[in-house]
Amino acid sequence: MIAAVERNSELLDDFEIEVECLLEALFLRWGHDFRGYSRASLRRRVARYLADTGIQRMADLQHELIRDPQRCQHFVRGLTVNVTDMFRDPAFYSVLRTQVIPELRSHPFIKIWHAGCSTGEEAYSMSILLQEEGLAERAVIYATDINSRVLEHARTGIYHDKMLVTARENYQASGGKVQLDDYISTGYERFIMDPVLKRNIVFTTHDLVTDQVFGEMQLVICRNVLIYFRRELQSRVLTLFYESLDMGGFLGLGIKESLSALPNQNSFRIVDSAVRLFQRID
């Protein structure tokens, strides 16, 4: 019985061992550190990469990754999951309106950080919200991601039509004051965000694993990013957020993420448990 337990938890199969070697190689050669990421999703991404590129053996992939920076960049971009939505989880945005916005009003200058913003839908959603609350003029939104390709997309503010039905629904459900269509123009199966919304967004690369604090924020939003990290890394990143927040600053996580297993959870208090909104304790 004991032996069986050990077998289940200790024994890595061939592919798992190869994934571990790959992560080590990426770090040693290029400094890309994915070692603290959850393996179940990584394994899917690597398997998908092999299938998409037709590379047969992990050993061949590793050989190339160590020697070819272009291959490395291509591979690393394929490792992250970049799915996102406008006003995803509308309840989160309504709680921002009722719980956070009133606090932000007392600040002459407001800094908001979207960590892991992917193609930018979240940042534009925030920009719309700030406009409607009359705070856009004194706010800056830092929208960052590890993946420079998604940031290029984010800067264009152009999205596919098929996102629009959900986006409209979500916007209304989030307490939107007008119509989503007042902020976009449509055509050629695409829609483009009103350029005004871009004025106070700064899109820039930032790696939560290796990069540092870059400012004191009133609000940090990091949704559906920590789910790809193991607990130890989640905890490290939570410290980074703590240090990036002003006294009493807010932290918004994904709707199914929790701090309760992290040793440093006590540095935050829960503001709204349903939408996972927290506040830095001082």
Ligand X SMILES: C[S@@+](CC[C@H](N)C(=O)[O-])C[C@H]1O[C@@H](n2cnc3c(N)ncnc32)[C@H](O)[C@@H]1O
Q: Tell the smallest beta-carbon distance from residue 82 to ligand X (Å).
A: 4
**Per CB under 6 A, does 76 bind ligand X?**
no
61 binds, among other proteins, ligand X, none (CB under 5 to 8 A by kind): none
Q: Of 4 and 51, which has the nearer Cβ to other proteins?
A: 4
**Per CB under 6 A, does 150 bind ligand X?**
yes
The full DSSP string for 74-133 is HHHHHHS-----TTSSHHHHHHIIIIIHHHHTT-SSEEEEEET-TTSHHHHHHHHHHHHT
Question: Quick count: other Cβ atoms within 10 Å of Cβ 231?
Answer: 13
Helix (H, G, I), strand (E, B) or coil at 6: helix
Packed helices 14-30 and 39-53: angle between N→C axes, nearest 10 degrees:
90
Residues 13-42 vs ligand X: string with x where CB under 6 A? ------------------------------
70 binds, among other proteins, ligand X, none (CB under 5 to 8 A by kind): none
* Signed CA dihedral, 102, 208, 37, 261: sign only: negative
**Per CB under 6 A, does 94 bind ligand X?**
no
Q: Of 200 and 224, which has the nearer Cβ to other proteins?
A: 224
Instruction: List Cβ neighbours of 112 (8 Å cut-off, separation of 6 or more).
Output: 126, 139, 140, 141, 142, 217, 218, 219, 220, 221
Q: Of 183 and 203, which has the nearer Cβ to ligand X?
A: 203
Q: How far apart are CA 113 and CA 258, in angstroms?
A: 19
DSSP type of residue 146: S
**Per CB under 8 A, does 224 bind other proteins?**
yes
Q: Of 44 and 57, which has the nearer Cβ to ligand X?
A: 44
**Which of 46, 92, 116, 159 forms a contact with ligand X (CB under 6 A)?**
116
**Per CB under 8 A, does 228 bind other proteins?**
yes
Question: Quick count: other Cβ atoms within 10 Å of Cβ 161?
Answer: 13
Phi and psi at 211, nearest 5°, equal: -95, 165
Reading the block at residue 57, the tokens are 């053996």
Phi and psi at 201, nearest 5°, equal: -105, 130
If you search the block for the tokens 């050989």, which residue do you land on? 63
**Per CB under 6 A, does 171 bind ligand X?**
no
**Per CB under 6 A, does 88 bind ligand X?**
yes
Q: How far apart are CA 219 and CA 92, in angstroms?
A: 13
Of the candidate spans 22-30, 126-134, 142-150, 241-249, the one that interacts with ligand X by CB under 6 A turns out to be: 142-150
Q: Which residues bind ligand X (CB under 6 A)?
A: 80-85, 88, 116-118, 122, 145-147, 150, 207-209, 223-225, 228
Q: Which residues bind other proteins (CB under 8 A)?
A: 1, 4-5, 8-9, 13, 16, 38-41, 43-44, 81, 83-84, 88-91, 166, 169-170, 173, 224, 226-228, 230-231, 234, 254-258, 261, 274
